[in-house]
Amino acid sequence: MITVLHGDDIVSSRKQLTELKAKFAAYEQVALIGEAAELSDVIQLFEANSLFDQKKLIILERFIETKDKKKLALTFNLFKKNPDCEVIFWEAKEIKKELLAFFPKQTTVLLFKESQFIFRFLESLRPANAKQMLSLFHETLKNETDERVFYMLVRQFRLLLAISSSGKISETNRLAPWQKTRLAIQAKYFSSERLIKLYRRLFILEKQLKTGTGALPLSHALDLFLLDI
């Protein structure tokens, strides 16, 4: 069986990937990532025998966006010869319809799209903008969980910190030029010291969230965080 997880809501799609890994915990799990995954590597994964004669779960991350149609067609031929394998494609953006057409008809395709409210909220993050930030934050919470908004907030500040310091992380490498431009404009509202301080506060909040030691509900803690930006 083949499952495709794609779309710009990477928090939700990564969560789904984690759940699928747990579902197939008894399988031998192997993964290939992005441009480093050559067709010969995929062939080897399918043809290599498991040490314990387990069924295989093969995960191909950012594979489709880095391969041409010919290589994709050859990859799908491997699926037909190995029907007992579970295969998951994970892509950080929406796959074009013409590429989805290459997949077998029985493929499960799950699209994860970001809410426009959360994008507007993340783009509103800057000093002296508390009223708009809080308004968009609470509007976003009508359609998203506190935890999801929090992790998107953490990701936004991580990107802003990387862009402002010209740092290279995997997430910035995957951004489109227009996304980098918007982040660069937003980052100019903050000093490097301020971004570091705010990111550290989010790190503390994340630790409290994971350990259940926070004194306030997450949404209230984020209200205070936004007011201090």
CA atoms of 201 and 166, how far apart (whole Å): 22
The backbone torsions φ and ψ at residue 176, rounded to the nearest 5 degrees and listed phi first, read -75, 155
What pLDDT shows up at residue 5?
Answer: 94
No. of helices (H) and no. of strands (E), the chain: 11, 5
What secondary structure does DSSP assign to 91-150, as a single string? -SSPPPHHHHTTS-TT-EEEE----HHHHHHHHT-STT-HHHHHHHHHHHTTTS-HHHHH
Domains of the chain with CATH codes = 2-111 (3.40.50.300), 116-227 (1.20.272.10)
CA atoms of 125 and 229, how far apart (whole Å): 8
CA atoms of 195 and 217, how far apart (whole Å): 24
CA atoms of 174 and 159, how far apart (whole Å): 11
What pLDDT shows up at residue 198?
Answer: 95
CA distances from 150 to 53, 203, 209 (A): 42, 11, 10
What pLDDT shows up at residue 53?
Answer: 64
What pLDDT shows up at residue 169?
Answer: 76
What averages of pLDDT result for each successive group of 10 residues across the chain (229 residues)?
88 89 89 75 71 76 76 76 82 85 86 84 95 94 88 92 81 82 94 93 90 88 94
What pLDDT shows up at residue 47?
Answer: 72
CA atoms of 160 and 192, how far apart (whole Å): 9
What pLDDT shows up at residue 38?
Answer: 74
CA distances from 104 to 34, 99, 193 (A): 21, 11, 51
